Amino acid sequence: MALFDIHANPDTRTKAAIPYVIEVQANLLSDLGTRVVAPLVPARIFRGAVPRLNPTIPVGGEPHVLLIQQLAAVPKLALNARPLENAEDKRYEIIAAVDFLVTGI
């Protein structure tokens, strides 16, 4: 598990609307029993994205919107499967979204 890894949503109740989650927790904290993730929803069905807060991240060639305002901690074991992709190339947009959420800057 690593920063910006994209996983299938492990929550069967929300998987239809939120097919993926992305890890946004520093690798330094990998010994914790939980990982902080944010939902990724298909851009084609999401309306109202705030560009700086909700960057677009491709998953499987399809654009998805990062809902950083819906951060959640999930058990590390729930993300046990190999990640589908990694969004390291979107590092600056993701960190800017976290900063905007927390500081408003």
Residue type, 50: V
pTM for the model: 0.95
- Residue 49's Cα: distance from chain center in Å? 15
Main-chain dihedrals φ then ψ at residue 86, nearest 5 degrees: -135, 135
All structural domains of the chain: 5-103 (2.30.30.110)
pLDDT at 80: 80
pLDDT per residue, tens digit, the chain (105 aa), is 899 999 999 999 999 999 999 999 999 999 999 999 999 999 999 989 899 999 999 999 999 999 999 999 999 999 988 999 999 999 999 999 999 999 999
Integer Cα distance of 94 and 91 in angstroms: 5
